[in-house]
Structure 1
Amino acid sequence: MPARLNITVAEESMHIPASIQESIDSYWTSLEESGHSFYRGDIFSIKEMKETGDELSVVLERTDFAHFIYCKHCGLPDRYKCRVAAVNGLILTADNQFVMGEMNGQTANPGYVQFVAGGIDRRDIRGNKVDVRGSLFREMEEEIGIDGNDTSLVLQVEPRYIVYWGNISLVYVIMLKERAAEFQERYRRFERSLCERDLTPEFASMVYVPADEQSVSDFLELDGRPKWPFLRLVLEEELKDREW
């Protein structure tokens, strides 16, 4: 990941032609009628991007989730695609297990195994600047119930990778002081607390993979669940870069 990130939000929202907007609105109505409970909130799409030396500068523009899901399912010309910047957290426990999650059936990516992750939210914006680390900590709190500032639990949060795949994904490694069994019990309590408030956990289940070459290879090759597009790349790169 570049040493310096400068992510800002443009004043004006993304321009979408009326004919495309009609198709987006119509598709959104069909999703609602079929029983999906997606929230049509703000999404921030990449308008401009420039990398110079050790700095990455990105300008985002506001659109909404209906545009994002239409683009994902139906496609759009490049000029009008919704390209997001997202933060991702790969969890590593004290006993060297990678922790990921299988997305629940009500999300935009049901069944996929992926990291703790999410797009930029308006709550992450200070003035016109995006608090990237704050965005990651918000996702951690919402998805796994961990406060990224809790030094009794979190050993280190390390920026590691940036993945360009039409979208931009910033990947951090979240090193915990807890062992996998302790994290598992903590997550069960968090899951119960969500259910008591009639909230659906983002993850249908947590996925634990020992951080060694054979275990990661077995998971990637033998586990039949779909994997997020760059999950393999990140896990394999972590194994190369670290001495366990």
Structure 2
Amino acid sequence: MTDVVIHRVTTLDLEVERWDWPFANQRRDEIAAHFAAQQHDKPGLWNGRILLGRNARFDNGQFSASYFETDFASLLAWRDWGYPDRAVFNGFGMGALRAADGAFVLGEMGAHTANAGRLYFPAGTPDLADVSGHTLDLAANVAREVEEETGLTPADYRASAHWDCVVTGASVALMRMLDAAETGEVLQRRIEANLAAQDEPELAGVRLVRSRSDLTAAMPRFVTAFLETQFSAGEPSS
């Protein structure tokens, strides 16, 4: 099992800088061939520009890191080849949507996505649209991803003041609790109606998680680790 460390922070200092990733430069031809093969199986994959991190630091309730621009093909190859460059990490925000009755709301990734069948909180790899000046605005990224995937806006939930940074290997999942006023079943129906109205939704469905017994192998370790801490603390009740 992958070792997990969770840091709770209240401030983020995420600087975006220009940096040439040696892995992406030196293995460009292999990366292109790998992405072409993946795109053959899933034509909907798009090689957009994304942001990855390095120089992660946790200190006095703050998470600091430097982010740099690369392409999705390089991220995909780096992930699929076992993260050969461990100086880099994939640092992304997740909206840990919690219903009024304590149920956590997760989405099942659609068959056309790079993570088909996996169960996640609403999330997305940061990109240039999330940059303000020279800073990565992860709060805005989470709000955008939640709205794109579920149709919920910041008016539908209360965002926590803290982030739980779940470190697993080469990933840092920055979880922000989003507390909604509606029950799990109401949120599920609302989100499913939103998905049905989309031509090609990113999610294939919605899953409610109320206890450890609802955890499955389809959930990445950073998701189950976060949920285990909530259940251990008695949140939410079954």
Tell me the TM-score normalized by structure 2: 0.87
Residue 218, structure 1, aligned to residue 213, structure 2? yes
In structure 1, list runs of 5 or more residues that go unmatched. 211-215
Q: CA deviation at 1:145?
A: 0.8
Q: CA deviation at 1:172?
A: 1.1
Tell me, in whole angstroms, the C-alpha distance in 2 between the residues paired with 1:88 and 1:17: 26
Paired amino acid for 2:160: V
Is the CA contact (8 Å cut-off) linking 1:44 and 1:61 kept in structure 2? yes
In structure 2, list runs of 5 or more residues that go unmatched. 1-7
Paired amino acid for 1:117: A
Aligned residue in 2 for 1:240: 232
Q: Deviations over 1:7-58 (max 9, x none)?
A: 0111234344654111001112222333432111112122222222222210
Q: Deviations over 1:197-236 (max 9, x none)?
A: x2x22221100123xxxxx22212xx5x521112221111
Is the CA contact (8 Å cut-off) linking 2:24 and 2:31 kept in structure 1? no
Structure whose alpha-carbon radius of gyration is higher: 1
Aligned to 2:192, which of 169, 188, 191?
188
Is the CA contact (8 Å cut-off) linking 1:9 and 1:130 kept in structure 2? yes
Tell me, in whole angstroms, the C-alpha distance in 2 between the residues paired with 1:141 and 1:17: 31
Is the CA contact (8 Å cut-off) linking 1:7 and 1:58 kept in structure 2? yes
Is the CA contact (8 Å cut-off) linking 2:96 and 2:176 kept in structure 1? yes
Aligned residue in 1 for 2:49: 42
Tell me, in whole angstroms, the C-alpha distance in 2 between the residues paired with 1:60 and 1:193: 35
Tell me, in whole angstroms, the C-alpha distance in 1 between the residues paired with 2:233 and 2:159: 17
Tell me, in whole angstroms, the C-alpha distance in 2 between the residues paired with 1:102 and 1:34: 19
Q: Deviations over 1:125-172 (max 9, x none)?
A: 001101111011011011111112x1xx21443534111121211111
Paired amino acid for 1:218: S
Provide the aligned C-alpha RMSD in A.
2.1
Identity %: 24
Aligned to 2:141, which of 128, 132, 135?
135
Aligned residue in 1 for 2:207: 207
Tell me, in whole angstroms, the C-alpha distance in 2 between the residues paired with 1:132 and 1:241: 26
Tell me, in whole angstroms, the C-alpha distance in 2 between the residues paired with 1:117 and 1:144: 11
Aligned residue pairs total 228
The change in CA–CA distance for 1:82 and 1:66 in structure 2 (over 3 A counts) is farther
1:37 is paired with a residue whose SS is coil
Is the CA contact (8 Å cut-off) linking 1:98 and 1:209 kept in structure 2? yes
Aligned residue in 2 for 1:103: 109
Tell me, in whole angstroms, the C-alpha distance in 1 between the residues paired with 2:180 and 2:110: 24
